[in-house]
Amino acid sequence: MTTTAGAATPAELEARFCLLAAEGDLDGLTRLYAADAVVSLPRGREAAGHTAIRRAFAEALASGARWPEADSTRVIESGALAMTTSTSADGVVGTQVARREPDGRWVWVRDGSHLRCAAVADLLGAA
């Protein structure tokens, strides 16, 4: 499995996410997020921190969730923060906030879409 701890640029995060998800690499997926990151879940719930984020992705992957590569990714960078927006072939838009860590790597600190999209929401028990 691929080993990763963030990305060299914010634009690389989405591609790495898709690769790691396809491999089922929970450790790699978790390391794409800062230790204090928050991921939105269905029904207004959230996963905060590595343990909760890993558990949420484990549940989604075990339930058959898949994330296709984005057709396009846009980055708006301002200093050590960036907003990453990706659009899939079916027009679904995902948005995250990334942060450059002191060692130069980029990680997500807020993910409002990967575990909240319609296909995943059904798998995680959304109404």
What is the pLDDT at residue 43? 79
Predicted local confidence at residue 92, as pLDDT: 81
**pLDDT-based confidence at 114, cuts 50/70/90?**
confident
Residue 115 in any domain: the answer is: yes
**pLDDT for residue 103 is more than 80:** yes
Would 2 be classed as within a structural domain? no
Mean pLDDT, the chain, integer? 86
Model pTM score: 0.85
- Give the residue, 54 or 41, on which the prediction is more confident: 54
User: What strands lie across the sheet with 46-48, from one edge to the other?
Assistant: 46-48, 33-40, 106-111, 93-100, 81-87, 72-78
On whether residue 4 sits in a domain, the answer given is no
Domain CATH for 40: 3.10.450.50
Beta strands in 1-127 (DSSP E): 33-40, 46-48, 72-78, 81-87, 93-100, 106-111
Domain range spanning residue 111? 12-123
96 by Cβ neighbours in 10 Å (0-12 / 13-18 / 19+) ranks as buried
**In this structure, is residue 7 part of a structural domain?**
no
